[in-house]
Chains A and B, each alone.
Chain A
Amino acid sequence: MTERKIRVLITKPGLDGHDRGAKVVARALRDAGMEVIYTGLRQTPEMIAEAALQEDVDAVGLSILSGAHMALVPRVLELLRANGQGHVHVFVGGIIPESDIPALLAMGVRAVYGPGTSTQKVVEDLRAAILQENHA
């Protein structure tokens, strides 16, 4: 049996226009040895949950700059759970006001990363979380 690879979906929900940040994270995760499925811009929560299901990912990273996170994130979480993928590690990056973070974490988001976060931190968190899950 070959080593089990970490599979991550990196995606950009909402209508805002550029995906530079998402691509930077995608490349960093790839360079850390993970298999990163990249979907591109303007994904609806339905599209994201469908891709997460078909690709059987361990984690989903949502890059949100539009300010619509309080609408988009709960919907993604809800759909993942409805599909039997409540175990998937969901993290959010982008422009998220400090004051929204507790609510996001309470919903089931595992981590929220602001614009200044090093990609190394994202990699380490993800590795640790998935390692822990496999031992659980």
Chain B
Amino acid sequence: MTTLAEEVLAGSRLALARLLTLIENEDPQGEAALDRLFPHSGRAHWIGVTGSPGAGKSSLVNRLAQAFRRPADGSPPRTVAIVAVDPSSPFTGGALLGDRVRMRDLSGDPGVFIRSMASRGALGGLARTTPAVVQALDSAGFDIILIETVGAGQSEVEIARLAHTVLVVEAPGMGDDIQAIKAGILEIADILVLNKADLPGAENALRTLRAMLELGRPPHEETAESLPVVWRPPLVPTIATQNEGIAELLGHIQAHAAYLRQSGGWQVRDRSRLQTQLEELLQTALLKRWRSSLPEGQYQQILTDLQARRISPYQALHSLLGEPPLPQSIQRGSTALFNA
């Protein structure tokens, strides 16, 4: 009997699709398959695409995937997987996943695989299981993985932690301003894209973004040691609907991959991503194990004491972990209250 993982490695798209569902549902069968697949991961270039809803992320992903499939420089086509995340309703848990509407040009191409994901309550622009889904697609042998985020979060830092290369997509807004530059969003850009460069206001938007980039921040630091090269995020105007600027954008993406490999940043990102993943798993597992080892009555009593303001959350923590309370001398304010 062949396992799901073996079928995925043998190229079954049905097995891959089922695996992604198991992963999304956090089913133990999905975990077991990932264990088998993990040694095959680590080869793909993970590219994040973030920016406000309507900026043109899906349209750009569609064009980029086409460009990777038919490189203008005559290099061999790359296989492309796309993960497009849209928000789940916090009230019903339902979701409308509409990114495929902009990706119809990609249908019929066996070198492309598109998967829509609902965020399922996660707030950072991705679903909790997006990293594992991307890992599975990487193991399945895709060369390029394009990850489109929800785009509505205040700071979409999670994609910066996940992807090798992050594209931040902006669009000209009303008048001479540009559409919603969110705090912190420029910091995560490896490449800044001004899409909808055909719209009025594009010139001004470009000028504003250029000024922000120059004012912005020091070049990315990938290692603590001195770097052989420095990456300065480029600003690339595109018109996704007309396929304009896409070849240039692809060039910058490939240059960023080359930069990461040369500077050692590729390994740094890979390691820190795996560390994050491991620590998130540890947190969940340790909490679960620790909770199950604690008598329920004792836990409830501590919650009651907390609620009655007899102890503070910090005191509850020290007590639960069996640590001595902080020495009186560092405690401030009305400690008598706690000692009563």
Contacts and interface: CB of A to CB of B under 8 A. Distances in A.
Contacts of A5: 24-25, 93, 118, 120
Interface in A23-44: 26-27, 29-40, 43
Given A30-B94, A33-B92, A54-B113, A84 B14 contact: yes
Nearest to B81: A54
Interface in A1-56: 1-2, 4-5, 7, 26-27, 29-40, 43, 46-47, 50-51, 53-56
Interface of A: 1-2, 4-5, 7, 26-27, 29-40, 43, 46-47, 50-51, 53-56, 83-85
B108 interface: yes
Given A5-B118, A38-B97, A55-B116, A32 B92 contact: yes
Interface of B: 13-14, 17-18, 20-21, 24-28, 88-89, 92-98, 100-101, 104, 107-108, 113-116, 118, 120
Contact of A30 (B27, B96, B104, B108): B96
A32 B89 CA distance: 10
A46 B107 contact: yes
B77 to A, nearest CB: 18
A90 to B, nearest CB: 17
A7 B117 CA distance: 10
A8 B98 CA distance: 12
Contacts of B115: 54-55
- Chain A interface, >50% SS class: mixed
Contacts of A27: 96
B100 A56 contact: no
Given A30-B95, A37-B116, 12 more contacts: A5-B25, A29-B94, A30-B96, A32-B92, A37-B100, A38-B96, A38-B98, A38-B101, A50-B108, A53-B17, A55-B17, A84-B14
Nearest to A39: B100
B26 to A, nearest CB: 5
7 contacts: A2-B25, A5-B120, A35-B97, A36-B95, A36-B97, A40-B101, A83-B14
Contacts of B25: 1-2, 4-5
B128 to A, nearest CB: 9
Contacts of A40: 98, 100-101, 104
B96 A36 contact: yes
Contacts of B97: 35-38
